[in-house]
Amino acid sequence: MLYLQGRIGAENRFRMNVLTENIASALVNHRLQRSLREQTIRDPLTSLFNRRYMEETLKLEIARSSRAGTPLSLVMCDIDHFKRFNDEFGHDAGDSVLQMVAAEMRSRFRDGDVICRFGGEEFTIIAPGTTAEALAGRVETVRRAIAELAVRHGNRTLGSTSMSFGIATWSDAMDRDGATLIQAADMALYQSKRDGRNRATISMLAA
């Protein structure tokens, strides 16, 4: 908002018009730049952060955790039997499942947790300041909530779904780029799959 007090003389009105147009142009450019940045860091389907943003953020959080001596944990998770939604109901229905699951995770994790779509039906959550054991309770709440979802697409009921989770905590023995931490959480995720799905497993490397 541009606020002026007093009367503007005729000789200054042209300058004032130029000034307001410059301000308006700057605001439009700023809004456009912000919009473009959102497009580069967000997944367009789910509005979650994308994999590129996750990888950059994970490196920063590892550096912070290392300096401050605070814990940092990571969750890898994916939707169980996701392929059946695409096969039975089509890809639009699969997209609806992804959007519903993403919305549920956004509402259940903390504001400080960074929720990302890793790719396909797989998601990653960066959780600063918490251990895998402490995070497990939050993950269990999310797991139960997703298992209770009534998945719909348009007027059709698609049935229920579930998710499997792997949780790991970063340690000084791990790589600083986050690759080892991702691998540890991913291995725990696949253990959940082997154990029957719809469950969470804490990585042995988190101890």
What's the pLDDT at 207? 45
Whether the Cβ atoms of residue 198 and residue 142 lie closer than 8 Å to each other? no
Instruction: Specify the long-range contacts of residues 184-192, CB closer than 8 Å, at least 24 apart.
Output: 184/74, 185/74, 185/75, 185/76, 185/124, 186/76, 188/76, 189/76, 189/77, 189/78, 189/164, 189/165, 190/166, 191/166, 192/164, 192/165, 192/166
User: Could you state, in chain order, the average pLDDT of each consecutive group of 10 residues for the chain (207 residues)?
Assistant: 75 76 71 63 95 95 95 97 92 94 95 95 97 95 95 86 97 93 97 97 77
What's the pLDDT at 59? 95
What's the pLDDT at 94? 94
Whether the Cβ atoms of residue 198 and residue 160 lie closer than 8 Å to each other? no
What's the pLDDT at 10? 75
- Which residues sit opposite 49 in a β-bridge? 42, 116
Whether the Cβ atoms of residue 162 and residue 147 lie closer than 8 Å to each other? yes
Of 55, 121, 122, 133, which one is the catalytic site residue? 121
Q: Is 122 a catalytic residue?
A: no
pLDDT tens track for 107-152: 999 989 999 999 999 999 999 999 999 999 999 999 999 999 988 8
